[in-house]
Amino acid sequence: MILDRLIGIFSVDMGIDLGTCNTLVAVRGQGIVLNEPSVVAVKKGTNQVLKNGQAVGWVAKEMLGKTPGSITAIRPLKDGVISDFEITEAMLSYFIRKVSGKSWIFHPRVVISIPSGITAVEKRAVFDSAERAGARRTYLLEEPIAAAIGAGLPFGEATASMIVDIGGGTTEVAIMSLGDIATCESVRVAGDDLDEAIIAHMRRSYNLMIGEQTAERVKIEIGSAAQVEDETSMDVRGRDMISGLPRKTSITSTEVREALQEPLNAIIETVTRTLERVEPELAADLVENGIMLAGGGALLRGLPVVLQKATGLDVRLAEDPLTCVARGTAIYLENIEEWRDTLESDMDL
């Protein structure tokens, strides 16, 4: 144990949020040191990663939707499940190596937050990838717990905490008490589905095909879940479905909100369903403690208000929701000796 601590001083121990959209790495004392899209460019039809693994993250995201015939950019965790183990491994090891650099003296300890919905086989694959990428020890931490730690919730105490983490591919809803998850639900409806709803709306109402990146921009710039004071509009560019030619059109924030209704309702229903299943004593705690929102999807304007209305509970947005999970993994790493026994986070395959 003491030796382990000593080695820890000389190695770049890191906490990793392996997200469906973004992967973040936090290092003790340094905060977030890496924040890149979970995207890998591969040769089309193969899982051969381009340029010796250099086409990962930002470089690869820029290729999404714009790749020439022989290359495709892939999001290997898109739907919260690992669609391709080899590509996920290539991505994870690229990020781990990038952070530890060439200068490491000892191999790092790595805490990886994984969606709670993934299977034992997928967990094993993530674990093995980290070990192969040079981790000295690897710990897996369930994402809702990492989010709760990052948001500063009293998840270890005898009171209920509730976290709703809305990412790109999945929304995870969990109610925790005494360091353990009492009830949780993971659905594959999240930020990506909002983008898709905008794409479908543009196609249906304007005969305009737009790309995923454009749709995401529309969502972030003028999207909302509840009525906002200053309703606005913006220009959207794409390809006309009838003439086949490039064209732009203007859309309003009101129609974007209407387009988002269906996936938003699915997210809200997941939250209320989880609440309906919780023990009465924990439900009583939540009346006091409310709900904490994390993940990039939680940044949609008006979402806290809508969830507050649907549940009758207090809803707060975590500080910097996009980095909440990564910061949680780093805090977990700092307290690992103390917390390991209370949290069922280790490899229990």
Binding residues for ligand ADP, rule: CB under 6 A, are 19-22, 167-169, 191-192, 216, 219-220, 295-297, 299-300, 322
Burial of 64 (0-12, 13-18, 19+ CB in 10 A): middle
Which partner in ligand ADP, Mg ion, none is near 8 (CB below 5 to 8 A by kind)?
A: none
At closest approach, how far in Å is the CB of 208 from Mg ion? 31
Q: Whose structure tokens read 């190596």?
A: 97
Q: Which residue's CB is nearer to Mg ion, number 50 or number 140? A: 140
Cβ proximity to ligand ADP, 173 vs 300, nearer residue: 300
Question: Which residues are near Mg ion by CB under 5 A?
Answer: 19, 167
Which of ligand ADP, Mg ion, none sits in contact with 191, Cβ below 5 to 8 A by type?
ligand ADP
Between 203 and 217, CB nearer to ligand ADP = 217
Pick the closest to residue 21 from 326, 276, 290 (CA basis). 326
- Shortest distance (Å) from residue 48 CB to Mg ion: 28
**Closer to Mg ion at the Cβ: 140 or 222?**
140
Quick one: DSSP state of residue 318?
P
CB of 258 to Mg ion, least distance (A): 27
- In the complex, least distance from residue 167 CB atom to Mg ion, rounded to whole angstroms: 4
Cα distances from 22 to residues 39, 40, 91, 322, in angstroms, run: 8, 12, 11, 9
CB closer to ligand ADP out of 8 and 295: 295
Sign of the dihedral defined by the CA atoms of residues 177, 178, 181, 182, in that order: negative
Nearest to 333 by CA among 135, 115, 102: 135
User: What is the closest distance, in whole angstroms, from the C-beta atom of residue 291 to Mg ion in the complex?
Assistant: 17
Q: Which one of ligand ADP, Mg ion, none interacts with residue 13, CB within 5 to 8 A by kind?
A: none
Strand partners, 267: none
User: Residue 220 touches which of Mg ion, ligand ADP, none (CB < 5 to 8 A by kind)?
Assistant: ligand ADP
Instruction: Choose among Mg ion, ligand ADP, none what residue 296 binds, the Cβ cut-off being 5 to 8 Å by kind.
Output: ligand ADP
Select 173 or 282, whichever has its Cβ closest to ligand ADP. Answer: 173
* C-alpha torsion sign, points 200, 205, 207, 208: negative
- Beta-strand (E) ranges in 21-108? 22-27, 31-37, 40-43, 71-74
User: Which residue stretches of the chain are H helix?
Assistant: 2-10, 58-61, 85-100, 120-132, 143-150, 191-206, 212-222, 253-277, 280-289, 303-311, 324-334, 336-339
Give min distance, CB of 232 to ligand ADP, in A: 14
To ligand ADP, the closest distance from the beta carbon of 64 in angstroms equals: 13
Which CB sits closer to ligand ADP, 55 or 198? 198
